[in-house]
Amino acid sequence: MSHTPPKLAVLVKGWPRLSETFIAQELVALEETGQTFDIWSLRHPTDVKRHPLHDRLQAPVHYLPEYLYQEPDRVWAARAITATLPGYAEAWRVWRADLRRDPTHNRIRRFGQACVLAAELPDTVTGLYAHFLHTPSSVARYAAIMRGLPWSFSAHAKDIWTSPEWELREKLTATSHGATFGATCTAFGARHLRSLSDDPTRIDLVYHGLDLTRFPLPDPRAPRVAKAPFHMLSVGRMVEKKGFDRLLDAFALLPDHLDWRWTHIGGGELTGTLTERARQLGLSDRITWRGACDQPEVIAAMRQADLFVLPSRIAANGDRDGLPNVLMEAASQRLAILSTPVSAIPEFITSGIHGLLVTDDPNALADAITQMAADPARTQQMAEAALERLRDAFGMAPGITRLSARLSDLCGAA
């Protein structure tokens, strides 16, 4: 479709990002409902590879100054324009109150980016929608106050659990220029945000779901022969909340008779630490570190694996997964799942029915791996049950329909 002047501006942390394909999936689906929007990104891309979804999106992408000192002329020109807007003084007051409680360079950068956004938004824009409730929503909120526009958000995981409560409450309260509505992708997160909002109906539960047209079903799997090599796969960033450090310790506890291999897909800040840990444990010969991969490569790896393992846990700073889309992707490929009962994972996986959920303790993980390797028939039965649950309850269409209607109301109200 041709791109008509947008009524909606969508804010994201960075575009494109392989680790946030759930955002790309949503935005492509919203375009297919007839929504038109521009994307405004707070950061430039750093990933070498792109996801096929990124190429399907037709929305123009604009990049705000990633750091204010990099584009001083643009920032100061925007400041001069926004200073003439009726809402600028109120936005300045709100930001100064935030800065007193969060005196960081990041908070200063948010206001500068908001000035550029408010100055450069097309006049046709009548609503803002930010992915993530922390930094992108702050930029959206300040810019919305300047321009006198409503704003909304989609919250996920880290942004919910690592943001200070005062900031969440203000973004969820009408009298403090809060969002008109917010969507979040788990019932676990929705309950928490509703408890902080002046109006619980402001928060919608909208599962990401999975567009099954992007994940063609494999042929039915025959159960693995019990004594055959056991291939495990994990896909996720190498960060604390993914629990891969505990998984390596679990591998060291596996019985000698189990002929296992593990493939990891993804990058992250702990890459060096984890690869060195694997070497120290004497596991390197059994592990393949593949780094970042695109969707066809991930699907191919899932079809070659016997078990998908994601040992999510709560990080020291409170960060945690919500409901990782990669679990649904694994289910779409009839791949058995081993994970943990963190956050919203039990909303999709009932332990013993759709997979196994155990604590992130290495002994518990090792016991579960050994159990699933020793009983291929039951393991594959759980994989089939997870696929059935995915088809029945976690399709993408209902959530997109609801979200599109909310965004149309948001823009129409202005």
Of 100-114, 232-246, 400-414, give the lowest mean pLDDT range: 400-414
* Mean pLDDT along residues 207-228: 83
Strand order in the sheet with 287-291: 287-291, 260-265, 230-235, 307-310, 337-339, 356-357
Q: What mean pLDDT is predicted for residues 148-177? A: 95
Question: What burial class does residue 19 get, using C-beta atoms within 10 Å of its C-beta: 0-12 exposed, 13-18 middle, 19+ buried?
Answer: middle
pLDDT of residue 120 exceeding 80: yes
Per-residue pLDDT band at 265 (split at 50, 70, 90): very high
Mean pLDDT of 321-334: 93
Residue 183 has pLDDT above 50, yes or no: yes
**Cβ atoms 361, 247 nearer than 8 A:** no
pLDDT tops 80 at residue 51: no
What backbone phi and psi angles, to 5 degrees, belong to 262? Answer: -135, 135
Strands (E) across 44-124 are located at 61-63
Find the mean pLDDT for residues 245-251.
98
Tell me which residue has tokens 């005196």.
103
pLDDT (average), residues 136-161 = 96
Q: What percent of the chain has pLDDT over 70?
A: 99
Q: What mean pLDDT, rounded, does the chain reach? A: 93
pLDDT bracket for residue 3 (50, 70, 90): low
Please count the other Cβ atoms lying within 10 Å of the Cβ belonging to residue 359: 15
The answer to whether 268 and 239 have CB atoms below 8 angstroms apart is yes
Mean pLDDT of 344-369: 97
User: Which tokens sit at 254?
Assistant: 């596996």
Q: Does the pLDDT at position 414 exceed 70?
A: no
Two structure tokens written together for 351: 């332990």
More confident residue, 248 or 157: 248
pLDDT at position 411 over 70: yes
Q: For tokens 């329909």, what's the residue?
A: 401
Banded model confidence at residue 2, pLDDT cuts 50, 70, 90:
very low
Mean pLDDT of 30-59: 88
253 pLDDT above the threshold of 80: yes
Q: What is the mean pLDDT of residues 6-35?
A: 91
Whether the predicted pLDDT of 247 surpasses 50: yes
The residues facing 351 across adjacent strands are 355
Placement of tokens 């041709």 in the chain: 2
Q: What is the pTM of this model?
A: 0.80
CB 228 within 8 Å of CB 411: no
